[in-house]
Structure 1
């Protein structure tokens, strides 16, 4: 009789696990667009500084700051090498989200199409619900918005 009870417990445990996996998958598949950004917006606090003041002067509401996105890189069959992708703030304006990168003197932005693509396209691909990427330069009191658009190619 003990074997029947063990089998019954295993069947119930497997059914519960399958139900839980199905619920997680269903919740993930029906997750509304922009929910990743809303989670990031609620994740971190913002300490007032010159960059935050500059963004607020330009009509942006700074939601959170100093984000680190962990990534793993694997080459061929080698081990996964950890790396990170950083952005400085998440801001919103007129119910649209923007990632904010601060201009740094040691890594100046190359304002050509290829320079912007190499530096910022990864952010647009990771966060497709963002309206754009803001480059803020508190030193020059300048805020610029970069947007990427996929164009039809001729071949």
Structure 2
């Protein structure tokens, strides 16, 4: 799952952004991958190939996880779907127009709040701040988000695919 972080954080104009892909599961966070330029299906597929299994292994779960992502077009192209079907044991499919219930969205928000205390003036200082704060995320923080998945799914079903509080 990817997210954009903008800098400088307190100035309206003249900044830039850093796009990242990250992995989380109930044990904590895996790899954080910085994306240079605009991400497309080929860059995304390469990120999955180089980071997904490595992150799962780092967390001690190898292939014992349920993978989820949003319905971004680069996530749902045939090349990516084919790779996922050949390499991922369990995959949570979300309806095309459903709200994004992936708990990593809440983690991106948390990370954004954590880096606000850093003096970010460039892409490099932003990357360093993101890495530092990413590595400080506790397993308890992640478990809380993962444990909310059943409530997220129930809320999505109740709302018939319309937005929920998550």
Coarse TM-score class (shorter-chain normalised): under 0.3
Structure having the higher strand fraction is 1
- TM-score (norm. length: structure 2): 0.21
Structure having the higher helix fraction is 2
- TM-score (norm. length: structure 1): 0.22
| Higher RCO by CA contacts (8 Å cutoff, separation 6 or greater) | 2
